[in-house]
Structure 1
Amino acid sequence: MTHSEAHKSHRVGWLRPAVLGANDGIVSTASLIIGVAAANTTQENILLAGVAGLAAGALSMAAGEYVSVSSQSDTENADLALEKKSLEDNLESEKDELAKIYQDRGLESALARQVAEQLMAHDALGAHARDEIGISKNASARPVQAAVYSAGAFTVGAALPLSVAWIIPGYYLIVAVAVLSLFFLAFLGGLAARAGGASIMIGAFRVAFLGALAMGLTAVVGRIFGIVA
């Protein structure tokens, strides 16, 4: 009977930008709404600010993720090109280098050499990319995927507090947006932790605490400017 573990690392490519986008969408939009509302602004202006924040934030997240991950991808491709050239010019030295890596990990010298030769016979560049440079297929940079997931998740996250502000106007708007946004954040943190195989309670608390801090500070700023105005 075979035994297999359900590893989660293959989800990193989409999980990180999706969680980051949704979290930022909730926190930034809820904080913006609360800050504007605390300044005694009309509901129309509150909703306008929220919609503007949603649009600007989604585009900013997409652009930021694309540029950031593209830079990572460029660096990876440059390293791979350098390694490919080295394999063409110094094959034996590269075998020795790979064997030394395996030997440092605990294999005997002869076995390490044999493993290096067999892996390089199958896929020399892949073996060096994985074990020398640290680039694997599961964690390789995908700029378009990161941008799409981040922007989409931000839009969904931002739509949640914006919907609350639209449904519950007036005196209870700030409390409703804050409480429900914290619930959304806790749920998101727990969901992300579960998807990544981590502690659900720790993930939920961490995201909710930081979100509460951001909303509280923004409310103070809005109240100060509201009094000044």
Structure 2
Amino acid sequence: MESIERQQRDDAAPPGQGLNAKLNWLRAGVLGANDGIVSTAGLVVGVAAATVDRGPILTAGVAGLAAGAVSMALGEYVSVSTQRDSERALLAKERRELREVPDAELQELADLYEAKGLSPTTARQVAVELTEHDAFAAHAEAELGIDPDDLTNPWQAAGSSAVSFTIGALLPLIAILATPPHIRIPVTFVAVLVALALTGSISARLGGSSRVRAVSRVVLGGAVAMAVTYVIGQAFGTVV
């Protein structure tokens, strides 16, 4: 029942409300998928360079997938929890100041709008009206840039990272296990680079940056990672 009511509130929210949470979820998802592809591809390519047996490749790939997913989820949870704690501390401080020095806070809000280009009279009037409507929300938005109803969610980021890492990691693992030994590595290289180009393109779209630059970075990084682990696998595989 609570989840239904929350969904109804989200559907009725004005445009932009909840955007922070959605972007946080997408960012964590894209980064998780990219890391899953690169780290698992490097691992299985290195092992495949040392042996043609599927057993060691499968074991290394699954172990890397599990460890990576847990690591990504934990890292995102800690990072986003720290951010959320900072936001809550700032909001608590703002509540206290509004309670203890409301006149000073009103003037501060007016000064903020005046700094944005409003005349002193208009800025004061805007500050007064916003304060009468919801002083806390007005200060949180104008002074802190925080929506009190849209704080970052550490569990959402952690879950998104773990799931996306797993999905990304499955691609090189399937590619290298589903192909004959003599073409395993080339097929995996191609599949991984295509997947990285896709995640780089999505990342650039979300961030509004250059798609060519973003794609080039992740593709080059993935190629280097696989090349390095391939060389290491060849060297140590031969020694063993």
Q: TM-score, normalised by structure 2?
A: 0.85
Aligned to 2:5: none
Map 1:85-100 → 2, pairs under 5 A: 85-100=96-111
Aligned-residue offset at 1:175: 1.4
Whether the 8 Å CA contact 2:73–2:159 is kept in 1: the answer is: yes
Structure 2 residue corresponding to 1:170, chosen from 159, 174, 181: 181
Structure 2 residue 113 is the aligned partner of structure 1 residue 115: no
In 2 relative to 1, CA 123–67 (structure 1 residues): closer, same or farther, beyond 3 Å?
Answer: same
CA contact (8 A) 1:161 1:177 kept: yes
**Within 5 A, what are the aligned runs for 1:135-174?**
135-136=146-147, 140-174=151-185
What is the CA–CA distance in structure 1 between the aligned matches of 2:232 and 2:111, rounded to whole Å? 58
Q: CA RMSD in A?
A: 2.3
Matches within 5 A, 1:65-80: 65-80=76-91
Question: 1:38 aligned to 2:38?
Answer: no
Contact in 1 for aligned 2:52/2:181 (Cα 8 Å):
no
Post-superposition CA distance 1:138-190 (Å, at most 9, x none) = 97311111011111101100011111011014122121111110001101222
**Residue in 1 that maps onto 2:11:** none
Counterpart of 1:28 in structure 2 is 39
Query: Match for residue 124 of structure 1?
Result: 135
Deviation at 1:58, TM superposition (A): 0.9
2:220 alignment partner, one of 209, 220, 223: 209
User: 2:97, 2:105 within 8 Å by CA — same for their partners in 1?
Assistant: yes
CA contact (8 A) 1:21 1:154 kept: yes
Aligned-pair CA distance for 1:201: 3.4
Tell me how far apart the structure 2 counterparts of residues 89 and 186 of structure 1 sit (CA, whole Å): 54
Unaligned runs of 5+ residues in structure 1 are: none
Q: How far off its partner does 1:195 sit?
A: 4.7
Letter in 1 for 2:25: W
Equivalent residue pairs, number: 224
Structure 1: 4+ residue segments shifted above 6 A: none
Query: Does structure 1 residue 134 correspond to structure 2 residue 145?
Result: yes
